[in-house]
Each structure stands twice: as structure tokens, then as C-alpha cells.
Amino acid sequence: MSISMFFEIYPGIYLVSMALLGLAIGSFLNVVIYRLPIMMETDWKDQCRVLLDMGPATMEKQTYNIITPRSRCPQCEHPIPALHNIPVLSYLILGGRCGYCKHKISIRYPLVELMTGILTVFIAWKFGFTLQTLFICLFTWALICLSLIDIDKQLLPDDITLPFIWIGLGCNLFGIFTDIQSSVIGAMLGYVILWCIFIIFKTLTGKEGMGYGDFKLLSMMGAWMGWQILPLIILISSLAGSVIGILLILFRHQDKNVPIPFGPYLAISGWISLIWGDQIISFYMQYI
């Protein structure tokens, strides 16, 4: 009996398996969200030293990447054992605190794990045991990473967006989401549209309304879904950004001159468009 047939017979086991996978991936995403900006900053500093002819750093640097060193408590720096690193469950058992120094741990860690698990199960339920499910999960996990890094640091790392542009183009060589022509045009237009908006806004106001990472993120979405979906993504993200931005200014008294990251709004609208884009467009064309 093949795995696909087994999961068709026992869909509950399939969904539970995907839930556990999603929780584990969510735990990994927490590491990426925290460490990738630090790795980028370290790399930028090294490049600056080379450009300024300052020579190598005098102190020997410890290996620091997504895998090494092991996760540690930010307060007491004690390595976190595997039993204290079980997604969501460990946080609940330890009462949201380090198991050694009892320092409070941010609730965002289990929330990211839980959100990743829930979205993974939803995708598995909606699309079944298919190749589409695999790639939509990868796309979703990338968007979670990008959104939270943008919220924290106002960065959309090329280390995520650029590979996913190529992954989207590769998928559509086989027509998984759209045809390859629409995919290529979507990748091109996704970048060019926001770049044009950026140039026009900067010319009129003298300010930069968004970053180049936003261009690459929309290009990534165009590569995955085709150029036809780009107007819907831009419309949803612009409406969401405007409404939430106004609410933040009115109720949280946020300074209107403080930039608000646009990446999360693009990510949310892109995910909605991938899951329900055809239905939304069909509804609009039929009833509106």
C-alpha cells in the first residue's frame, strides 16, 4: 500500500502528521526569524571592513548560523535541551519561563509554532496529499518568516525571496499553479509595478515609500501565481495596509512619519490570493 493510498484511507492520520510537521517547522521558523537578520548584519559588517580596507576582525568569530550554536536562554544563556524545546507543549509545561533561570519567554514563539501548525493542517485538508500541498506549505512557511522579520527589522531577506522566485518558476514549468509564460511575466511585472510606484512616490514627496525587498516579494508572488493575480494582491494589501495604518495612528497614537512595514500585508494578501484568488475574481466578475 502506497503512502498516498494510506492517507486516503486514514485522513485523520494524515492531518495529525501534518499538524506535527507544521509545529516542528514553526519551531524552526522561530530560529530563522531570530538568527537570519543577525547573520545578515554580521555579513554586512564583514563586507564593510573589506571595502574600507580595515582587514579581518581581530577576534576569532564563533560559528553562527541557522543550526549552530544550539538555542540558548537569552537571559542565563543556558543551552535549551530537547525536552524544553517541544513546540507549544514545552512552553505550557514550563509556564512560559526558562527551565533554569525562570526568565519569562516571549509568547510569540509558541504562537508562531501554533499558527504554522494550523495553516499547515488547513492546506493539507484543502488540497489533500498532493504536490500542490507541498509547495503551498513551503510558500506559507516562507511568508511567515518574511512577515515577522519585516515586522522586527523592516527587512525582507534576499536569502528567502530570491530562491522562492526560482522555486515558483520551477513549479510552473510543470503548470502546478499557472503556465510558465504567466509565471515569468508575473515575476517581471511584480518587481516593475512596485518599482514604478516607488519612483513616482519618491519624485513627488522626496521620501521612499517602500523598500526593494517589497519589489522582490511581489515578484516572488507573480512567479508563483502569474501576472493575472497581481492586481488582486496589490488591492488587498493596499486596503489592509491603509486600514491598519489609520487604526494604529488613531488608537495607538503612532507617529504617521514612522514607517510601517508593507511586507506582512503583501504576504497576507498573497496567501489569500493563492488559496482563494480564483474564487474571489470569479465572484467579482459575476456579481460586481
Q: Give the domain ranges of the chain.
A: 1-126, 130-288
Q: Residue 71 has what pLDDT?
A: 83
209 and 223 in contact (C-beta within 8 Å)? Answer: no
**Residue 55 pLDDT greater than 70, yes or no:** no
Q: Residue 275 has what pLDDT?
A: 95
Of residues 263, 266, 277, the one with CA closest to residue 178? 277
Task: Grade residue 281 by pLDDT with cuts at 50, 70 and 90.
Answer: confident
Task: Grade residue 288 by pLDDT with cuts at 50, 70 and 90.
Answer: low
**Residue 168 pLDDT greater than 60, yes or no:** yes
Q: State how far the Cα of 141 lies from the Cα of 123, in Å rounded to an integer.
A: 12
The three grid cell numbers given for residue 108, joined into one nine-digit string: 510569540
- Under DSSP, is residue 146 helix (H, G, I), strand (E, B) or coil? helix
The three grid cell numbers given for residue 96, joined into one nine-digit string: 512560559
CA 285 vs. chain centroid, Å, equals 30
The three grid cell numbers given for residue 127, joined into one nine-digit string: 488540497
Q: State how far the Cα of 252 lies from the Cα of 246, in Å rounded to an integer.
A: 10
Task: Grade residue 74 by pLDDT with cuts at 50, 70 and 90.
Answer: confident
Give the tens place of pLDDT for each residue, 78-132: 888 888 888 999 999 888 888 888 889 899 999 999 999 999 999 999 999 999 9
- Give the Cβ contact number of residue 273 at 10 Å: 24
**Residue 10 pLDDT greater than 90, yes or no:** no
Task: Grade residue 160 by pLDDT with cuts at 50, 70 and 90.
Answer: very high
Burial 23-59 (b: 16+ CB within 10 A, else e): bbbbbbbbebbbbbbeebeeeeeeeeeeeeeeeeeee
Report which of residues 226 and 52 the model is more confident about. Answer: 226
Q: Residue 222 has what pLDDT?
A: 97
**Residue 224 pLDDT greater than 80, yes or no:** yes
Least-confidence region, from 108-112, 174-178, 271-275, 277-281: 277-281
Helix axes 230-251, 263-287, angle to 10 degrees: 120
Of residues 119, 92, 135, the one with CA closest to residue 224? 135
Of residues 78, 77, 71, the one with CA closest to residue 35? 71
Give the tens place of pLDDT for each residue, 227-268: 999 999 999 998 888 888 777 777 766 666 667 888 999 999
Dump the DSSP string for 38-78: HHHHHHHHHHHHHHTT--S-SSPPPP-SSSSS--B-TTT--
pTM above 0.75, yes or no: yes
Q: State how far the Cα of 34 lies from the Cα of 43, in Å rounded to an integer.
A: 15
Q: State how far the Cα of 267 lies from the Cα of 146, in Å rounded to an integer.
A: 8
Q: Residue 173 has what pLDDT?
A: 95
**Residue 13 pLDDT greater than 80, yes or no:** yes
Average pLDDT value for residue range 272-276: 95
